Structure 1
Amino acid sequence: MAENHISERRQFEDLLKRDGLEDLESRLAILDTFLSTEEHVTLKELSRMLKERGFKFDKEFIADTLQLFCQYGFAVKKEFQNQEARYEHRHIGKHHDHFICTMCGQIIEFYDPQLEALQLKIASNFGFHSLQHRMEIYGMCQKCMGKREPALPLAMTSPGERVKVVRFLGGHTMQARLASMGLNAGSEIEVLSNDGTGPCIVVSKGTRLALGRGVAHKILVSSIKHGTDMGRDRRTKRF
């Protein structure tokens, strides 16, 4: 066990004794298991890790202990978009932010001193005293991007993604109707909503378009670089 983990174990034990909490050894076993990984673990994943170590605690007890970790400052509960709550080790005096892949769920930690300094500078410019912050950037990891085809149906894109229309698989009638709405080969669009069941909502040249699932499957697109000005939203059209 790392030296800092030994120190944290001792601190946690002292806090439990101070508050007169029961099941001291069991809670310490959960802490040891939690500290054995730097991954962002769910309650289910931590339960599995404990079983692999030969412990048989019920989930309610593990969940209660995780709450104590957060209460005493040994863990941070993270609730990323569309994911089960995760817990990560709280390192004293250290901060990091997260990239979250919307395809595979991978969580990547990062720290950039220039970014941290810029945030403090911006806060100062507004006369704001910053106490804490969290940054979560959603997108696709390198592995998932590598699996994608150069062109894929619009129906398979993710909310927030910016893409360029490559070509249409539909006939002339469909293409003419889309063209009348300002959507042509080469058009740059941003995906606003795509839940896999209802219409795919995109914005093109400042106009929201509601495209049916069938139509969205017939529009092939490719990813474009960030920073393109998509224009302001003005109205919504449905197709």
Structure 2
Amino acid sequence: MTKKLLQLLVSLALLCEGNLIGGMQVVVVQDKDIPRSDLLAFINTTEPIWTYRGNQALDENITCKVDYQFAEVNDTTYTFHRNYTEKNASSSHKMNGRLVVSKGSRSKPQGLCTSWVVTDDLGVRMLEILIYQTANHTCGVFYVLPLTRSRDEHDDALLTEDDFFCELRMKDSITSIPAPPPPRGGSYQVVNRQPPSDCLEAYTDHCTGRGKHGDTQVYRHSCKAVPGSKSNE
């Protein structure tokens, strides 16, 4: 950790800092140039959200990772489902997302809230920070951190940018889709969409450009059902 980095203490999006589940507190020591974006604006959707790309250390052997059915339980808690395939085995988890709220009011987030702690039905917890999203909220870049307890007397976690993994996530409406069966004698026409250029640029700048190499492609057009069918290919 550099001296410059030590001098730039940024607690979870500045406006969203506080205690997490079980009395554990997370402090992120992070470069001031890393941006933040509005998490609530991104998850306030009826669309599934697909992970398009991620670091191998986080998403190796993972495909078709999707979050869907977001529901607000109260001002600080959301539920949703997360499905993915790992080495050809499908998994489905019910998730609980708890917003990291400001110290000024733990009952309701204030200002721009960009982070939450996501817990699956097995008790595995991840800190997810939205650092960038497009103007129409269809594509976002996340820093993702597995949460493990430290061994100091306060049982807190001190994290730096080296602890982050990256994911690029896209709304269902802008992802590629498989081709329906063509008419006899016709050819398949796959709708092949790429993430918006500014979203890709943000991923390059804040992930690849910061030494987080080893990307893996998580989304494939075969993750979706073929139009007119009832199951995925």
Q: TM-score range by the shorter chain?
A: under 0.3
Output the TM-score relative to the length of structure 2: 0.19
Query: Which structure ranks higher in relative contact order (CA pairs < 8 Å, sequence separation ≥ 6)?
Result: 2
Higher helix share: 1
Provide the TM-score with structure 1 as the length reference. Answer: 0.19
Larger Rg: 1
